[in-house]
Structure 1
Amino acid sequence: MKNPIAFPLLLTPLLLAGCAWLAPEYKRPVMSLPATWGNTPTVVRDTSAWWQSYNDPALDQLITQALTGSDDIALAKNRLGQAQAQYNYAFANQLPMLSVTGTDAYGKFANGQVNAMGQTFHFPGKTSNFGFVGGMLNYELDLWGKNASLSNAAKAGVHAALYAQAAARLSVAAGVAQLYFSLRALEDNVALLEQSVQTQDALLALVQRQYDVGAVDAITLQQVTEQRDAVHATLPDIQDQRDRAQSALAVLVGQSPREIVQTALPHGPDIQDLNIPAPTSPLLPSSLLERRPDIAMHEQMLIASDYNIGYARAAYFPSISLASLAGVNNIDIDNLYRASSRSWTLGAAMAAPVLDFGRTESGVKLAKTGRDEQIVLYKQSIRTAFKEVRDALLAQNTALAREQGTQGRQNAAQQRLNLTDLRLRQGYASQIDVLAARASLQQAQILCVNARLQRLNASVDLYKATGGGFQTSPMPGERGKPHKKTAP
């Protein structure tokens, strides 16, 4: 071999392949988790399209539309694209870079002139072109795992962006479901209030006639009037809430401005006819760490922070770069294909920090404090998740008891109306008694609708708190045990 240094330099990447990395080994923070959920209701069944368990085609249509048209999901998808591009850049930075270089000079050269590369050219002294075309290969030896740490941090960032997108999908789906249920409840309340307005108007008209003939006193008339006015005042507010809920739902599912103004949203069955998923076997509390996309996202950010420490520590050590140049040159650039000579060079450069006034130390400290912050955020996400599951379990139990209570009140009011109507036909009650019983029934029906809404919202909260249909599993062969999504 003509160049004795070339062979050792070519073997250097292989000799350094076993060098230790400076990034700390990732260990998942340990937290004390409960063994069971206690004496709370069981968790709803696990399904990727959990909203289909309500058996409402209109809800399925809206959530499907939202998952493709929501701005929140579009932003999460864009952030995923940014993270992927950042990883591709960091990964490519570990590989050699090949570039093409060329020069063209015009002038007069003397015999035996030596060029910048130490090559001697013998040609008659005349004015002519001198050209060179070649390729250059640059490669930085990753002795301390600096570029590898940066690449792995970016890969963890991609995983975090994937989980963030899953969390956005879960949040949007839950938001659409709860807003849709609220809209259905408001529509039922408007219909019941409109009936109640008619009942109160008829009741006031009868009491007014009785007051005119002296059958009732002024206090009774005033009480009935106040009841009528209260119902009339409530109706516009509920109608306004219904219209606002419809607009908010149209925005959440990603409708265009024209559709928001002109297009009506689909309607499914009555809110009282909507199915509420039956509980099944409970999940173990420890499995929540694998089922919540936000927890998985924070863990990936914690993994990335470990690699950031390795990248910062590498600045303490020298960096070595290899460069190779090979090409052809000719005294006449027009006849470059008939090269008068060929040349190549292979060199190495090293740069080591001597005095940086604490710059590297500050970078390492910044990376460590960043990891400490991610540990806090990771633990906080776990605490928040367990709080939300516990609250959702308790809320579901409370909502069920409330709905059963209001249903009993509605049944009693219906029985009262039936008995009052029977007494009216037998001459033992008046039309005023019937209207009063009907008004009481309508109020009980409104309470039932609201209780049903709370129970539906509690079931959605439980789906959301337990991660919906999201499930993670370890990715084999990856340091730090990052996770991947296995269900949408």
Structure 2
Amino acid sequence: MWAGAAAGLLALTLGACSLAPRHDPPVPELPAGWNDAALDTATGEPAADWWRQFGDPALDQLIDQALGENLDLAFAAARVEEARALLAGSRAELWPTLDAQVNASRQHGAAAAGTGQVRNLYSVAAVLGYELDLFGRLRSASEADRARLSESVYSTEALRLTVITDVIAAYLDLRTAERQLAITEDTIGARQAALRLEQARLRLGAGTELTLRQAEAELASTRAVAATLRDTARRSETALALLTGATPRQIIDTSTPPGAIDGLALPAALPRVLPSELLARRPDVRAAEAALRASNADIGTARAQWFPRISLTALVGSDALRVGDLFSGPAQGWSLGSALVAPLLDFGRAEAQVAGALARRDQAEILYRQTVQTAFAEVRDALTALRESQARAQAQADAVRALERTLALAQLQYRGGRGLYLDVLVAQRSLFAAQIDHTAAMRDARLGAATLFKALGGGWTG
């Protein structure tokens, strides 16, 4: 009998109505394609660990360490566990509760058998409680927590992409600063040699003080650039230490495995993906959709406050004046009960909760639309940045080769007495600037590739 009644109540509850509106996320107007050859003609699909395409073991090591030790990711993982626990709790609300109740009391007066004597009273009971979820309040709450768990998981994945890209950016900044510092130190050596030459020429009467002072100024300005680059390199190392979850001692004693900016290969192929697939791949878009689904379920929870709550209780136990008599036949008993609590006058509390839930659903929908807009804007910008940075890097490489020849000719003419020292200075400055810019363009091209993969939701697999 008890099993049949429980099954009937469960079926009644599961078949209850839901007051949450139908979840229909907005459908954005999407293009048919990307209108960009970089994606439309893609021939390969990177693996999930797409950063390994750069072919740099030091970068791989840093990213692996960040994924395991980054404190932001650890915090996000704890938030996921919290959301999972909340979901487990809301699911448990759908099922009955079974409690053990043990009471012991000492009474005097009319309550003690009406004799005015002091009596002891002992009781042991099992209490079964169950709320009939006729209006979907509990199920709506469970659905909201389920959606929030999904939101937390997708948000963590979005953070994972951000951490990976930040590590790549900091690593590229470090390698760029190291390469630029090496270029600067080579330039310092060349300008020290030029200064010694001008000092010798002045002693021999073949040079002028003006030329000597120009050489001194060029050397000093290049040393200032070197100091700035050393500071940039150290700051980049600190950023990498923080991203990889280093302890305070490790931050102070940080050291990065050796590597070179030109050792990072550009990905040979980009992922083939349709615009509609972007919405299913970007974790931030999926997190926003899950947040919208949760806010929609919250409306059902709020609307259920308008309707009665029906609770059922069943008790089986024993009452006795002595502990030894608790489980005797005459002491045993049972009871069944039900309770209905219906709102009569709450001065607009339930209505305000519904209005707030509706407003939060509207906010979540707006955030979802904004997230979709941002996704497509980031893909477009990342494609442009990748393409133009590659073109800029090639142009800067051509300029470096031309200026190297220009400097060689200027030095040859000056030493042969047929040219001015100003021509040498101009050629040196131009070559130094072009070498620095070329290194920065190499960094931008590789960072552009990483940013594009992030904008596309990470790596792609077949």
Verify same fold: TM over 0.5: yes
Amino acid at match of 1:329: D
* Cα pair 1:420 1:429 within 8 Å, conserved: no
The question of 1:302 aligning with 2:292 is answered yes
CA deviations over 1:29-82 (Å, ceiling 9, x no partner): 011111111135226843211110101111010000001111110111111111
Partner residue, 1:91: 91
Partner residue, 2:75: 75
Q: Offset of 1:325 from its aligned partner? A: 0.8
Amino acid at match of 1:389: V
* Cα pair 2:56 2:263 within 8 Å, conserved: no
User: Which has the larger helix fraction?
Assistant: 2
* CA distance, structure 1, for counterparts of residue 158 and residue 6 of structure 2: 49
* Cα pair 2:238 2:254 within 8 Å, conserved: no
Amino acid at match of 1:257: P
Selected match of 2:377 from 373, 387, 399: 387
Partner residue, 2:33: 36
Instruction: Report SS of the residue matched to 2:38.
Output: coil
Amino acid at match of 1:135: A
Q: Offset of 1:281 from its aligned partner? A: 5.5
CA deviations over 1:399-427 (Å, ceiling 9, x no partner): 011001101011213334566788899x6
The question of 1:414 aligning with 2:411 is answered no
Selected match of 2:21 from 2, 12, 24: 24
Partner residue, 2:301: 311
Stretches of structure 1 that go unaligned for 5 or more consecutive residues are 115-123, 472-486
* CA distance, structure 2, for counterparts of residue 11 and residue 451 of structure 1: 71
* Cα pair 2:198 2:212 within 8 Å, conserved: yes
Instruction: Report SS of the residue matched to 1:340.
Output: helix
Stretches of structure 2 that go unaligned for 5 or more consecutive residues are none
Instruction: Report SS of the residue matched to 2:354.
Output: helix
Partner residue, 2:268: 278
Selected match of 2:350 from 360, 379, 398: 360
Aligned ranges 1:150-299 → 2 under 5 Å:
150-211=141-202, 215=206, 220-268=211-259, 270-280=260-270, 282-299=272-289
Partner residue, 1:147: 138
TM-score, normalising length: structure 1: 0.85
* Cα pair 1:200 1:439 within 8 Å, conserved: no
* CA distance, structure 1, for counterparts of residue 460 and residue 120 of structure 2: 68
Shift in CA distance, 129/163, structure 1 to aligned 2, threshold 3 Å: same
- Aligned residue-pair number: 457
Selected match of 1:396 from 386, 396, 404: 386
Q: Offset of 1:237 from its aligned partner? A: 1.0
* CA distance, structure 2, for counterparts of residue 333 and residue 241 of structure 1: 80
Q: Offset of 1:334 from its aligned partner? A: 3.3
> What's the C-alpha RMSD, in Å, of the aligned pairs?
3.2
TM-score, normalising length: structure 2: 0.90
* Cα pair 1:298 1:377 within 8 Å, conserved: yes
Instruction: Report SS of the residue matched to 2:26.
Output: coil
223-232 vs 287-296, which deviates more? 223-232
Amino acid at match of 1:14: A
Aligned ranges 1:474-485 → 2 under 5 Å:
none
* CA distance, structure 2, for counterparts of residue 136 and residue 155 of structure 1: 29
* Cα pair 1:73 1:169 within 8 Å, conserved: yes
Q: Offset of 1:291 from its aligned partner? A: 1.1
Q: Offset of 1:87 from its aligned partner? A: 0.9
* Cα pair 1:66 1:252 within 8 Å, conserved: yes
Selected match of 2:341 from 351, 354, 374: 351
Q: Offset of 1:369 from its aligned partner? A: 0.3
* Cα pair 1:132 1:327 within 8 Å, conserved: yes
Instruction: Report SS of the residue matched to 1:23.
Output: coil
Q: Offset of 1:440 from its aligned partner? A: 5.0
Shift in CA distance, 46/367, structure 1 to aligned 2, threshold 3 Å: farther
Q: Offset of 1:273 from its aligned partner? A: 2.5
